[in-house]
Structure 1
């Protein structure tokens, strides 16, 4: 199975000023860049495509509409979406309303939090977000404990990368307040699980027992990451995962691992040549 991956598109109203993060969030070209990313992935033929949250920067209705207009216009395969922290304010209803008013089309656009999808026999689950008591903090919604090989989509990391980002001199956007609970739940299943995450605007891979986490760089700032992941569940060496980044590696300041990496699963996930 091939999964196309985009994250942190951050569509925003016209006139939104650039914002510094690892480099600079470039809002005025965000919509065109998102449409271009979908066309780029189309050339690589994914079976399903995922967008890992922060679809918009302010969660405002017009930006949500722009995001869905582009998604509907460019859709070429099923597309699964999960929310990011930027998608929730000021109205938590904007995203839900957009899903409810989607036109019926040949290709499904799926709220992965409300409905799991199975592609090539592999279940794909989405982690939603609930605001915490402190402003800017979020808890992740629980997902069904996998009873077989599964893919989990989450805006926030399931395995923390705080120390790795600090060692690389990169800003860290924070973890879910119940991150450790989600990690324990996935560990307890014992099933090989691949978690796709965004939020941090970094490329990284981290393995812990049965969990392989692949973090993807943002589309809103350089190197404007677009990627696909090939997953083979049944090979002589067990499940294998190969990540192919399509943005130039030389531009990836916020990269903690090789942008093109392969992993296999025996009793745990390990890198392969």
Structure 2
């Protein structure tokens, strides 16, 4: 069983996300729920926006939740609220986080379903992209075992999802530089 969390937006202690929402309490509630699941999930995937501002204190708060509640392997990718340098500095000890020189993306081959963890972050922007280096990684990874069951994990949805704000942003994922993109479905 695979458990998945996303958009935790963990803040520095005493701060609110967007100055409105107590996300730390909500994230802890989600982790407590995860810890109480029976059977225990085989792994946990967290698909981006671990933090609200990509600050080291926010990542340290995130690590405390992982250490306290996650009793299974944890695999994660960044979202547009995360910052790669701080992400790697504080949680680089987790599997795959430091495998790629430019992006936080990697493949997990240890389970019946292969995980392909893709980094779609464009620093400083809310939208995501799958440009040449990222598409090349995806193409090579899929080609290495074309008949293997695979789950692709990314933060930005590569299809119309029915949310106007997300559907506007995901048009950049389709074709950020006029080149080929295989992930956007219209």
Q: Which residue of 1 aligns with 2:163?
A: 165
Q: Which residue of 2 aligns with 1:139?
A: 129
Cα RMSD for the two superposed structures: 2.9
Q: 2:77 aligns with which of 78, 82, 85?
A: 82
Q: CA deviation at 1:114?
A: 3.8
Q: CA deviation at 1:110?
A: 4.4
Deviations, residues 189-243 of structure 1 (Å, cap 9, x unaligned): xxxxxxxxxxxxxxxxxxx7xxxxxxxxxxxxxxxxxxxxxxxxxxxxxxxxxxx
Q: Which residue of 2 aligns with 1:27?
A: 23
1:95 and 2:87 aligned:
yes
Kindly tell me: are residues 46 and 179 of structure 1, through their superposed partners in 2, closer, same or farther at Cα, counting changes over 3 Å? farther
Q: Which residue of 2 aligns with 1:126?
A: 117
Contact 2:59/2:91 (<8 A) preserved: no
TM-score norm. by structure 2 comes to: 0.72
Q: Distance in 1 between matches of 2:15 and 2:127?
A: 24
Q: Which runs of 5+ in 2 are unaligned?
A: 176-180
The structure carrying a bigger helix percent of its residues is 2
Q: Distance in 1 between matches of 2:81 and 2:74?
A: 20
Q: Distance in 1 between matches of 2:127 and 2:63?
A: 26
Q: Which residue of 1 aligns with 2:45?
A: 50
- For this pair of structures, how many residues does the alignment match? 164
Deviations, residues 50-72 of structure 1 (Å, cap 9, x unaligned): 01111011111001111112213
Q: CA deviation at 1:18?
A: 5.4
Q: Which is greater in Rg?
A: 1
Contact 1:19/1:26 (<8 A) preserved: no
Q: Which runs of 5+ in 1 are unaligned?
A: 103-107, 185-207, 209-273
Q: CA deviation at 1:49?
A: 1.2
